[in-house]
Structure formats: structure tokens, C-alpha cells
Amino acid sequence: MSQEHVYPPVSLYVDGILGRCPRCGKGHMIRGLLTVAPTCEVCGLDFSFADAGDGPAIMVMTIVGFVAIAVLWYVEVTYQPSYWVHAAILVPLSAILCVGLLRPMKGLLIALQYFNKAEESRHQS
């Protein structure tokens, strides 16, 4: 009778957003900016299942779009600046938000993929 190591329950959403292992909550799931680690250095979970695809990019574009439009609308209604001021605000705001949100969204989607045991569909021949 083989007995697997039992891991304490972790906060899936917090660990995903912070890029920690969805099984143990201690190891790193993402290295660098967007590279998925091969395994968890603490519990040994193999991250070969992890394929977030375009999901993080879609989520980030949606969030950044709403925030950018809200900020630009507020600036236009309040100050009525010229177009170059809008561009000077929009470009850095969008870049910072996109880069800052992409890693947490990727971690969250991979953690949800692990928790829900999501896999690619398989066709039988």
C-alpha cells in the first residue's frame, strides 16, 4: 500500500497570483517573468501539464482596457487636454499594467488548471 504525501490545503487564488505551487503553496511555479518552472523545488510537482495558452493575455487586455478607458475618460472630462497628453498617459499606463498583470494571471490560470485537472481534449481514432 503506497501512501502519497498529504499536503495542507492552500489558498488556490493567492498562490496562483503569487506564482507559487498550487499543490504545496511554497515552491515557485513561475521563474523570471513568464517562464513556467519544470517542477516545484519543494514538493516536486511536475508542471508539464501547465499550458495557460492565450488566457492570461485575454484577461489582461480586458482589465487594462477598462482601466485605461476609465482613466482617459476622467482626464478628458476633468481637464480636456490635447491628444498628446492622452497618449503620454495611455502608453506608459498600458505598458505598466500589462507587464504587471501578465505573470499573476498566468499563475492563476495554471493553478486553476491544476485544481480542476483540466487537460487538452483527446480524440480517439
Cell matching residue 82: 490635447
User: How many C-beta neighbours within 10 Å does residue 22 have?
Assistant: 25
Judged against a pLDDT cut of 90, whether residue 6 lies above it is answered with no
The percent of residues in the chain predicted with pLDDT above 70, rounded, is 89
Judged against a pLDDT cut of 80, whether residue 96 lies above it is answered with yes
CA angle centred on 78, ends 72 and 80, rounded to 5°: 75
- pLDDT tens digits for range 10-61: 788 999 999 999 988 889 999 999 999 999 999 999 999 898 889 999 999 9
Q: Using alpha carbons, list the distances in angstroms from residue 104 to 59, 69, 109, 118.
A: 11, 22, 9, 19
3-class DSSP string for 90-102: HHHHHHHHHHHHH
pLDDT at 118: 85
Distance of CA 74 to the CA centre of its chain: 28
Confidence band of 66 (pLDDT split at 50, 70, 90): very high
Judged against a pLDDT cut of 80, whether residue 80 lies above it is answered with yes
pTM: 0.85
